[in-house]
Amino acid sequence: MKFLVDRCAGVRLAEWLRAQGHDVAEARERTPDPGDRALLEWAVAEGRIVVTNDKDFGELVFRDNRTHAGLIRLPDVPTSARIDIMSQLLDRHEADLAAGSLVTVRGGRVRISKPPED
């Protein structure tokens, strides 16, 4: 899978995803920070799932109806738990992630919003 890891999601998570064989780009590769809209556009252009802690991406997708290639939001997941959570998401929800779903992990619960069917 292809991911774009936001700065707030962490370098360790990006490195772990790479070690699992995924194609990973990091927001920190672009300096200065281009902003959430530009990161979302980058992800769409390259078919990447955005991994972030930031609530703004959800607002861009839901409120502004922005195009996306998938979104994983980890707003309340501590740094120490992110790799375990991502491992579980990849094991249990790989098809949903590949289909461009929006995934939010909060309070130990996983919410998946699947893209509309054509």
Sign of CA dihedral 58, 69, 53, 107: positive
**Structural domain count, the chain:** 1
35 within a domain of the structure (yes/no): yes
Task: Write down the pLDDT at residue 33.
Answer: 77
pTM of the model: 0.92
Q: Both tokens of residue 115?
A: 């893209």
Residue 118 lies in a domain: no
Over residues 20-61, the pLDDT tens digits come to 999 999 998 877 778 888 999 999 999 999 999 988 887 888
* DSSP 8-class letter at 1: -
Query: How far, in Å, CA of 102 to CA of 108, rounded?
Result: 16
Domain of residue 98: give its range. Answer: 2-113
At a CB cut-off of 8 Å and minimum separation 6, what does 1 contact?
22, 23, 49, 90, 94, 97, 98
Residue 34 falls inside a structural domain? yes
Tens-place pLDDT, residues 60-102:
888 888 889 999 999 888 888 999 999 999 999 999 999 999 9
